[in-house]
Amino acid sequence: MKSFLIQNNDANQRLDKFLQKSVPKLPPTLMYKYLRTKRIKVNGKKSEISFRLSPGDEVSLYIRDEFFSEDNRMDFLLAPTSVELVYEDENLLLLNKPAGLCVHEDNAHTPDTLIHRVLHYLYRKGEYRPEQELSFVPSLCNRIDRNTSGIVIAAKNAESLRILNEKIKQREIDKYYLCVVCGHIRPESGSLRHFMRKQENNSLVQVFDRPVPDGKTMVTEYRTLARSMENTLLEVFLKTGRTHQIRAHLAHIGYPLLGDGKYGNGKINKRYHVAQQLLCSYKLRFSFSETEHLLGYLNGQIFQLPEVWFQKEFKEKF
């Protein structure tokens, strides 16, 4: 038998969701059976799977020890502790992810990822103790492609994670990007509205001028910041958040990102000696519709990277 005492980071979630996170080796079918047969109880009583946990609740499991065997919760120690902070407080981190670093583990199970660096950083600070957490792990709230640099949000506690995920879903966190496209884009600013469909077999996005079955609308706003002899530096604002949206959308209208190996022009990329897309998530603005929550103090605040390398070198190199 093992008991879990519910803490703040475990509260306000359904019992079945808590069990899936805290006892991941317990198959769902057995979990539901054990709830029905009172081998899993809350505060000594039978409980429904939809029961919402509160701080101080005790969850008791009368199940075999094999379901509690050690997992890989400390793998993050294999990653460096180095993170480039844009902002930090008791609830969240804003991080500048370098190009080339994965946000999460890929198929090669590389231990050096952004989330592992964040966990190692917080562990060293004493703000994350895996042995004291039952179901919560500090988490990234948004993700960007491996070869894209820029700001990523990480939540330090469960309440912040819930709020940030909801605000991102409601489009109340505005994300701005800088990029370099091939050619002189016309018009110099505008709003693009097209339709996309992801190809699961090759992770590419197809863009269409008209609605298609299983397609999703994507809207991208842009404005020209500067021009070189051949290329254009843009600021891009996402009205929707689709896979590869900026890369695929701008390529569709004839202005692919410089350095993009999937949607770009290989000959031009080779001529400029760039092997990764010149794309950076450089600015965030919190635009909450209401502020009666833990993160209300962030409303209206703008966070911006002090420098983006290709912006500084744009006219000289690109």
Query: Would you name the residues annotated as active-site residues?
Result: 145
Structure tokens belonging to residue 40: 């899993």
Neighbours of 293 (CB within 10 A): 16
Amino acid at residue number 283: K
Give the integer Cα–Cα distance in Å for 131 and 124. Answer: 14
Task: Find out whether the peptide bond into 55 is cis, omega within 30 degrees of 0.
Answer: no
The burial class, CB within 10 Å (0-12 / 13-18 / 19+), for 108 is exposed
Cβ atoms of 135 and 7 within 8 Å: the answer is no
